[in-house]
Amino acid sequence: MRKFEKISFEQFKKDVCDDIELYNEYSLPRRMSKKAAAYDFFALYDYTLMPGEIKKIPTGIKAQFEEDEVLILVCRSSMGFKYNVRMCNQMGVIDSDYYNNSDNEGHMWIRIQNEGEEPYNVKKGQGMIQGMFMKYLITDDDDPVKKERKTDK
């Protein structure tokens, strides 16, 4: 199974705000064209990133997917190319066991920085990052790991 979900309203209240209308109206990530490889994630609210500023931005989203897959989060091309805005870690790597972890339900956040010379304005509902599911491989001589991440379910 591979799917996106909203975090619970309880987690939303902890991480974002206590606004049930906002919670009910934001959208799950989606592909924006027939041949799009990645899913666009949309801003929960308006924000401005001033030149040199760094912000941690909630997505309100968690993802469930197969054990041999990873979800890669990257900036939309226009953010870096047109505006010189980047994710601070350049690329987010979300492991399958992050889903429903006991710390935050698997709520994905991004941290972005404006390295440009102009303010970067994002409107509520605007695409802000993209996520792509990919299979991954391990080495033939991989030493199996027994430790598991704590989950709520």
Whether 10 is covered by a domain: the verdict is yes
* 129 pLDDT above the threshold of 80: yes
Mean pLDDT of the chain: 95
**pLDDT at 152 (0 to 100):** 63
For the stretch 31-81, pLDDT in tens is 999 999 999 999 999 999 999 999 999 999 999 999 999 999 999 988 999
Whether 114 is covered by a domain: the verdict is yes
Whether 152 is covered by a domain: the verdict is no
Q: How many domains is the chain built from?
A: 1
Confidence of residue 144 (pLDDT cuts 50, 70, 90): confident
Let me know if 67 is exposed, middle or buried by CB neighbors in 10 A (0-12, 13-18, 19+): exposed
Instruction: Provide the token pair at 2.
Output: 């591979």
* 125 pLDDT above the threshold of 80: yes
* 146 pLDDT above the threshold of 80: no
Whether 113 is covered by a domain: the verdict is yes
Instruction: Provide the token pair at 40.
Output: 């666009």
Which helix (H) or strand (E) covers residue 86, if one does?
strand 85-87
> Which residue type occupies 119?
P
pTM of the model: 0.92
Domain interval for residue 14: 3-135
CATH code, domain carrying 80: 2.70.40.10
